[in-house]
Structure 1
Amino acid sequence: MSEHEPAVGYSEVGDQEVRSLRVRYCRLRTDGGEPVAELEALSFRQRFGAVAVAAEGIGGVETQPEFRRQGHMSRLLRQALVGMAQRADVAFVSDGIEGVYEKFGFVGAVAEGHLLVPVRNVERAAGDCLGTAVPGVHDGSSADLPAMIRLYNTAHAMRPWTHERHSGWNRLIPQATWKPGSQTLVLRTGSAPVGYAVLEGRPFGDPVGSLTVDELVAKDAAAARLLLVAVARICWQRRLGAFTVREPADSLAGRVARHMGCTYRQRFPQSGGMMAAILNRRALLRKLEPELRRRAAGRHSDELYETASDALRRGDLLPDDKVLIRLLLGHWSTDDAYAHGVSIPERYGDLCAAWFPGGGTPSLPTPYAHRLDRY
């Protein structure tokens, strides 16, 4: 530090609840109290299949203009990650800047995907009935949130990257000036909600002709089909030819839409995007032991399993944490790892293939970051 640069100190302030997430503010300030840089460390529970673990995410990263390009953000991130490692064993970034987070141990670990559903296909499957209201579908309200949370957790309980939603969750977009907020459709059988769809609100006066569903969750295929028909009916009324559903292809909504005929589009960023980093390897693997046993399904001897588990925790097996987090989350399979030059001892090959089958397989659904849980 030169004699002309002000001394800068680090602090953490928290915890506060912001839109259903616990937030800790990590800050750099000069000795005189002038803000230099800030980020938010958000607490949640993140799934690695059937097991959810405590995790923290980085968001709201910002450096004041007069302090940029002086290394403050690197210092802030390093110190924030030290604090995060005291509270959680894994960290995430919802929207990483290209070329920045890799140096701190993060790596892209989930793809961006969505379904594109032609209205005409839904109309054919529904029997040409888009001119009439769908029975049981109503506008949702805050009173429906507990049932929506239960439906969501049940539907995505095995999906890597999915947040485990708690009873007070509410990250629907609120209405504001020029912003209509989230529109919720709820399907009921009697008085019980059996499915819902959250439509992305478009700014009032926006001339762009499109409709996007942020989330579509249903108890069964019949309910998913009715919700897709209800969304298609809105498009039909607006004279739109297709709509987007932000659900993975192997979700219930995805399977029903695929049966109707749709396109699934995925994007795999080389850098940036949704990223993850292991903070405490041994502790994370201990917590994920039930999930690894589930994936292995008792197909290997106890002796081999314990030997491989010990090697994995020590780092003798798959020593690169960036490779390991991609494998644990299902972003990579062992075949992907081999294609990137990763070596796995032959005696552990079959077990690692069971542990790390990749998403979209019978034992591990596709990892997916739902829009309403991003930060």
Structure 2
Amino acid sequence: MSEHEPTPGYTEVADQDVRGLRVRSCRLGTAGGEPVAALEAVSFRQRFGAVAVAAEGIGGVETRPEFRRQGYMGRLLRRSLSGMQRRVDIAFVSDGIEGVYEKFGFVSAVSEGRLIVPVRNIERSVGAVPGAAVPGVRTGTSADLPAMIRLYNSAHARRPWTHERQADWNRLVPQTTWKPGSQTLIVQTRDAVTGYAVLEGRAFGDPLGTPSVDELVAADAGAARLLLTAIAGFCWQRRLSEFGVREPSDGLVGRVARRMGCTYQERFPPSGGMMAAILNRSELLRRLEPELRRRAAGGRSDSVHETAYDGLRRGSLLPDDGALVRLLLGYWSLDDLDAHGGSVPERYRDLCTAWFPGGGSPSLPMPYAHRLDRY
């Protein structure tokens, strides 16, 4: 074997990412110790509604140019997924390449959406957009992070695909020499923080374009309106006509923006994008049984629930894991399953309709991948 020929060996090294996430480095190497292909397995907890489960995500995938198109990445993915299967019951990809990850059981499982808010609509709604600061809104600091984490978890506690933020969370983009980093606005009501917005940092010297808000969370409609007004004022000063907010349309901020007048842009990729794969079906469903009972809200007999749930765990009911994860996350409803050629027995249809209502329903918010939690 030559020095540059990849060995069949495979290594995993557990480490701690600077962003506070637990990361496992997975590699194929040469006989001389040089890497051929590498990826990161990132650990986090992902929500399926009111229940969060341990999960791992694939990121940082790369192969050295001289070893590409020779099957090494496929070998690496199979080995790393085998290791993931021993640790967690589900895996995710934050930004999958089209036509690649389907070979390993992944399916596109969340759409990409954002609110587009015209400045003139804010002007009409509040009477005028001030060029100065909005009363009650101030610039945020690192001391505001605990309150921001509490607000986020409260606002999105039952939203599929969200991460459960811990007390040490800080994914804000730091300021560097040529980039201002994340800019944070805070709504302060007496001694409490009742809302925040994180504006995407742009490189110094970038031409002015539509501003993007990475995240906007509020405890009430009043705080949401103050933040939207402050951002509109920022745009007004720069003679910009609109801004984007990366928040789901069915949340509090989305409802406030819709009342003011906005557009919601949503993209459903046929392949790639944000993807998921079930690794251990039975164990995943065991962990999610409380969530399925919550969605059904006790409206079906225990015997029907137990029989259907047992079939779901064993795979006799909805045997396609790809369809199942889309249904569990709310990316699909039962009607979507029907449209894609799937079906469930008629005796279980009412129960499955309650289990899988699709995102944006009263029992299940629409799934959303918040930008600051992507890896």
Read off the aligned partner of 2:370 and give its amino acid letter: H
Matched residues in 1 for 2:26 and 2:3: separation? 26
Residue pair 2:92, 2:277 contacting (<8 A) in 1 also: yes
Q: Deviations over 1:73-115 (max 9, x none)?
A: 0000000001111111111101000100001000000000000
* 1:41-120 equivalences in 2 (<5 Å): 41-120=41-120
Query: Which residue of the partner structure matches residue 124 of structure 1?
Result: 124
| Pair 1:294–1:4, CA change in 2 (3 A) | closer
| 1-10 vs 265-274, which moves further | 1-10
* 1:336-355 equivalences in 2 (<5 Å): 336-355=336-355
Matched residues in 2 for 1:192 and 1:158: separation? 23
Matched residues in 2 for 1:306 and 1:42: separation? 34
Query: Which residue of the partner structure matches residue 263 of structure 1?
Result: 263
Read off the aligned partner of 2:140 and give its amino acid letter: G
Q: Percent identity?
A: 75
Matched residues in 1 for 2:236 and 2:159: separation? 32
Read off the aligned partner of 1:28 and give its amino acid letter: L
Residue pair 1:137, 1:227 contacting (<8 A) in 2 also: yes
Residue pair 2:4, 2:32 contacting (<8 A) in 1 also: no
Q: Deviations over 1:7-31 (max 9, x none)?
A: 2420000131330211110011112
Matched residues in 2 for 1:237 and 1:2: separation? 63
Matched residues in 2 for 1:175 and 1:267: separation? 30
- What residue ranges of structure 2 are gaps of 5+ in the alignment? none
* 1:277 maps onto 2:277 in alignment: yes
* 1:182-331 equivalences in 2 (<5 Å): 182-331=182-331
Read off the aligned partner of 1:320 and give its amino acid letter: D
Residue pair 1:9, 1:31 contacting (<8 A) in 2 also: no
* 1:370 maps onto 2:370 in alignment: yes
Matched residues in 1 for 2:340 and 2:97: separation? 23
Residue pair 1:123, 1:130 contacting (<8 A) in 2 also: no
- What residue ranges of structure 1 are gaps of 5+ in the alignment? none
Matched residues in 2 for 1:18 and 1:82: separation? 26
The CA RMSD over aligned residues, in Å, is 1.4
- Provide the secondary structure at the position in 2 that maps to 1:159: coil
- TM-score, normalised to structure 2, is 0.98
> How many residues are aligned here?
375
Read off the aligned partner of 1:195 and give its amino acid letter: G
Query: Which residue of the partner structure matches residue 138 of structure 1?
Result: 138
Read off the aligned partner of 1:269 and give its amino acid letter: P
- Provide the secondary structure at the position in 1 that maps to 2:17: strand
- TM-score, normalised to structure 1, is 0.98
